[in-house]
Structure 1
Amino acid sequence: MNKTLETYLIQKVKDTGITTIPGHWPDFKSEKEIDEYFSQAEMLFKYAKKKKEEKGEMVIKSIALKNFKNHKDLSINFNDRHTVIYGDNGAGKTSIGEAITWCLTGANLFGTENVTNRMITIGEDEMSVTLIVEKDGKEYEIIRSKKKSEMEITINGIKSTQMDIYTQFIQDKDIFFSVFNPLYFTNLAPRDAKTILYKVLPEVSNEEVFKALPPEITEILKKNGFNNPNTFIEKQREILKDWEEGLLKSEGNIEILRQILNAKIPEMKTFDETQLKALESQLLELQKNQNIEIEKELAVLKEQYKKPPIEKPQLKDTSILQKAREELLQEYKQVQQQIKNLKPQCITCNKCGNKIDVTAKEKQLLLTKQQEIKEKGTKIAAELKAVIEENEKAKNEFEEKVKKYRKALEIKIKRLESALNANKNKEQIKQIMQQIEKLRSEEKETIIHNENVKALLRQKEEAKKKLKEVEEDIKVAKQKINEVKTLIEYAKTFNAKKLELEAAEINKYLSRVSLQLWKIVQSTGEIKDDFKILYDGKEFNILSYSERIKAGLEIANLIMGLTNIKFPIFVDNAESITSYSLPNTQIIEARVKEGITKLEIKNKRIDLLTV
């Protein structure tokens, strides 16, 4: 199936709501085939939902065979409830069942079509089977005949088609054969058996499940937009993850804030200026007779040496680009996580077996978005690199200018220092200046210390306010986490109740057959496909012949119970089973009776259930 048809199929599923055969669609070749398939499915569902008073029961009243296998001319009248056909091996008992299926579907007992030429009596070129059936209280005559190469179907004498028979009497070929021939279903591959069951199994609505749940669960789920259980659980898990990540971050922040609040802050220091001012006055007196001008000039030069009068370059701000790059990186990681978390939701073609990932388009969009983010990030990284290089160049040029400037000052400073006149107070002045420098350093340290203490006090005050906010955030996060976890548990409860209701509807028609269609994944609470069908704990492919018949009868009873459609059941080789529960429908048995070359027909009354 190509992508266009896949898209059309998905839209058809959304439009019709028919999702009872997930993952096992036929390998459609055109939109017309899809439309016809859904048309038949809708017809079947509507038929299955008829009111209980409308029986939807078909009874075969009689059959007439001409040149069908070894029956040249045979007529049989059937009892409405139970008819037994006796005959020796090769007497043509099985042919009666095949004549019925051929007349109604053009196929043999196991649904194989294009078998007409194998059904006709050897040496003959004409063949016909006439059925008188009763459907919903009305009798119909159905004739399928072959005259040379021509095939003809009539209903009450009116020329008809196979589709007319399906529409009026059968509705669905697989369902008909699963009821009529108990061995049909038990010989199917699990995948095909599953497809048939999905057609008839009850779809328990959300409202039906809500009615079976406690009112508080129903109210909360509805209030939170509950629709599809698995989608709801998946969404709530994403919300839960966000809240848990937020809580983890807040708990980390609160630990940092508590460390700030518990940290010891040093005491403020004081500086006594008395000694410094006295030394500064003494220094001034000693310098009066000195070459003050030279000293001043020298001081200016030294200050200029420390702080060259060269304008610092205006470096370009890189924070915006860095922030943009960081935001793109975070966005890239988020998209990457979305891709990682995107779980394939596959449907599988019924014929080719290929899996169709309905999330592929979403994944491709995410990959495209990821590539766009990557390209933006590359561009911004290049811009950031260029700005950094430009700033580095400006800094290097500035430092080179400063270096040249200081080199020139060094020559002037050396010249002035040499020019200073030696005097008797020079050593004393030097000592006083050293003391002043030391005191000024202490004063500066005190100022810096006190500024740091003030900053720590402000930080502690801000931490107190922030702590209350974070504590409130944690309280809200824990509350939300509990609420989301409750929603997830309620959704799991919904899933469990839905499976319970569906199982109850199914199991009331079954005895020794056990059927499992879905399971709840313990880790997530989601419902997943898990098809298992057993008879007395054994898989169908290892059952004995008699067990296959009994299992097929239970499946037939299940299908009729769920669809309210009743077809006759043909039990071939019925002597192989000594007892069985008889479904509430017409039963036709074929039994071996030694020495009987001509079929014996026995019609008898039976109770609804006989073991």
Structure 2
Amino acid sequence: MQLIFKTLTLVNYKSHRDISVNFGERTDITGDNAKGKTSITEAIPWLLYGMDALGSKLDPTPITYEADETRVSLLLEVDGKAVLLGRSLKKNKTTYYVNDVPSKAGEFNEVVERLFDKDLFLSLYNPIYFSSMHWEKQRSMLLQYVPSPVNKDVLKQLPDEQNKCLTALFKKHNLEDIKKIHSENKTTLDKKYIAAQSRTKTLQEQLEQIDLPTVPLESLKVELAQIDKQVREKESLLDNAWEKNKVYNSLQAKIRNLQEQVEMSKERWPLLKNEELEDSCRTCKRPLDEESVTAVKKDKEIRIENYKANHERLRKERADLNVRLEELEFVDATELRNEIRELDPQGTPLREAIRIHGEFGRLQEQVSQAQADEKETLQSLNDSIFILDSVKAFKSKEAELQGEKVQALFETLSVRLFEEQKNGELKNTFEIELDKKPYRKLSTAEGIRAGLELRDVLSQQSDLITPVFVDNAESITSFKQPVGQLIVLRVVAGQELKIEGVDAK
């Protein structure tokens, strides 16, 4: 889109009571200081945005005289179509006009916004406006026309291993997420690796403190097995002896019990044998009749017979048990126990040696596992470090490629988009340089040339052509003709305001 200024009319605007400027392809505005040269160029941004050419507040009211109303109008040609915009200020009330039709502020602003972005227009119109913005705004404005390189183009510039690594990771995550994931992994794995090293060292020290027996483990096991076998055999004999003695002792106990019963039976026999028969009732003392006496005799006879039978049974049982006892043998296990007591301790040092071998083996396994864990953790840590280095390399190459794309837009200026920090990370920045000098350190002439080249790049990239004014043109001998209408402001000592190339009133 091309924007052309046709006619600017100022009424009671600062020092200008009534002036019309007809713009041509080039318009030269000359005159001594304080003759209103800059006011003419500032009237346009005040008309559009209510501010000066640097985006600051502006008071447009007359300076040396009083007036009821300040009014500015501008006839534009936008891609061949005429648009007349106007703004007036009367008693602190602003009125807007679009093609001479009074409009609300919102309607007026909408018309202007449809034509062009404010910061873009002011950057194209005033070569030093761009440098007055915050560097982040400058960077954003320029880069919106220079997209970042696509991932595949950046990856091609990286070493094969980094290319393969990031290509696989890009299938699941973007670059920033990859960085976050592996930055967290690295922090976690750093601590885990330190812990793994400590565990390996501790276990290794424990292993070194073990005094390993000189006798091989298998030899110790064979020798202990022989001792254990002998002990088990003797313990088996001891168990058999115990079982036999248990039976022997049980029979002896039964015989003693029967003997006691036989002795008690003998003691009761005289009492029974010599028992006198009662011939009278124990209760009433009356003499028993013959039948009762006979019954008493009969009862005694029966009790004697029972006694003899029971006494004989006890004697027979005792005799039978004595026969069985004679058939048994009581085993004296004292010597066997002594042999076991002497033999079993011989296995104690062997068991301790085997235990030490086992402890040594377990520690060896733990050391091996700890070393494997340490190695695995280190590999994971190195993987994350490699990925983070790859991300850093990707960003660096991306910045380099983007910088090359941006730099290709300029002829004499250099643009710095990034700066490297102490940790190697790239930080966004924005610096315009001319002959390696930052823009802020350029002379007035250098600043004008730099500003014109920069605004021409913005104009070309945005496809917007606007007029541009060069203030303080007396400070520069020559400069490249910019794209679009050119308005040149030059101080000429002792000269009244003069507008050349156009009709002036």
Q: With structure 1 as the length reference, what TM-score do the two structures score? A: 0.53
Aligned CA distance change for structure 1 residues 142 and 466 (closer, same or farther; 3 Å): same
Separation in 1 of the partners of 2:353 and 2:452? 90
The reply on whether 1:575 has 2:474 as its aligned counterpart is yes
In the alignment, what sits opposite 2:451? Answer: 552
The reply on whether 1:586 has 2:485 as its aligned counterpart is yes
- After superposition, the C-alpha distances for 1:51-78 in whole angstroms (9 at most, x for unaligned) are xxxx3x3221222223333433333322
- After superposition, the C-alpha distances for 1:515-541 in whole angstroms (9 at most, x for unaligned) are 434323352x43334454544444555
Correspondence list, 1:133-282, <5 A: 133-147=76-90, 149-160=92-103, 161=105, 162-172=108-118, 174-186=119-131, 188=132, 192-202=133-143, 208-214=150-156, 217=162, 220-225=165-170, 229=175, 232-250=178-196, 256=203, 260=207, 264-267=212-215, 268=220
Work out whether residues 573 and 590 of structure 1, in 8 Å CA contact, stay in contact via their aligned partners in 2. yes
Paired AA for residue 171 in structure 1: D
Work out whether residues 175 and 196 of structure 1, in 8 Å CA contact, stay in contact via their aligned partners in 2. no
1:464, CA displacement in angstroms? Answer: 5.5
Paired AA for residue 224 in structure 1: L
Separation in 2 of the partners of 1:521 and 1:180? 36
Correspondence list, 1:308-323, <5 A: none
The reply on whether 1:87 has 2:25 as its aligned counterpart is no
Match of 2:383 among 463, 478, 483: 483
Work out whether residues 202 and 505 of structure 1, in 8 Å CA contact, stay in contact via their aligned partners in 2. no
Instruction: State percent identity of aligned pairs.
Output: 27
Aligned CA distance change for structure 1 residues 241 and 175 (closer, same or farther; 3 Å): same
1:574, CA displacement in angstroms? Answer: 1.0
1:599, CA displacement in angstroms? Answer: 1.6
Aligned CA distance change for structure 1 residues 158 and 89 (closer, same or farther; 3 Å): same
Separation in 2 of the partners of 1:227 and 1:159? 54
The SS at the match of 1:116 is coil
Please say which structure displays the higher CA radius of gyration: 2
Structure 2 residues not aligned, in runs of 5+: 235-336
Separation in 2 of the partners of 1:459 and 1:61? 99
Match of 2:74 among 131, 137, 159: 131
In the alignment, what sits opposite 1:106? Answer: 50
Separation in 2 of the partners of 1:58 and 1:235? 50
1:194, CA displacement in angstroms? Answer: 1.4
Aligned CA distance change for structure 1 residues 241 and 96 (closer, same or farther; 3 Å): closer
The SS at the match of 2:51 is coil
Aligned length: 378
1:558, CA displacement in angstroms? Answer: 4.4
Work out whether residues 47 and 86 of structure 2, in 8 Å CA contact, stay in contact via their aligned partners in 1. yes
- After superposition, the C-alpha distances for 1:67-122 in whole angstroms (9 at most, x for unaligned) are 33343333332234x33223344443222212222222222333332512246x72
Work out whether residues 574 and 591 of structure 1, in 8 Å CA contact, stay in contact via their aligned partners in 2. yes
Structure 1 vs Structure 2 CA RMSD: 4.0
- After superposition, the C-alpha distances for 1:264-320 in whole angstroms (9 at most, x for unaligned) are 32434888999xx9xxxxxxxxxxxxxxxxxxxxxxxxxxxxxxxxxxxxxxxxxxx
Aligned CA distance change for structure 1 residues 149 and 466 (closer, same or farther; 3 Å): closer
Separation in 2 of the partners of 1:73 and 1:184? 28
The SS at the match of 2:150 is helix
Separation in 1 of the partners of 2:476 and 2:421? 40
Correspondence list, 1:487-526, <5 A: 487-511=387-411, 513-523=413-423, 525-526=424-425
1:238, CA displacement in angstroms? Answer: 2.9
In the alignment, what sits opposite 1:37? Answer: none
Aligned CA distance change for structure 1 residues 59 and 213 (closer, same or farther; 3 Å): farther
Work out whether residues 414 and 433 of structure 2, in 8 Å CA contact, stay in contact via their aligned partners in 1. yes
Work out whether residues 250 and 470 of structure 1, in 8 Å CA contact, stay in contact via their aligned partners in 2. yes
Aligned CA distance change for structure 1 residues 164 and 234 (closer, same or farther; 3 Å): closer
In the alignment, what sits opposite 1:451? Answer: 351
Structure 1 residues not aligned, in runs of 5+: 1-54, 278-435, 604-611
Work out whether residues 200 and 562 of structure 1, in 8 Å CA contact, stay in contact via their aligned partners in 2. no
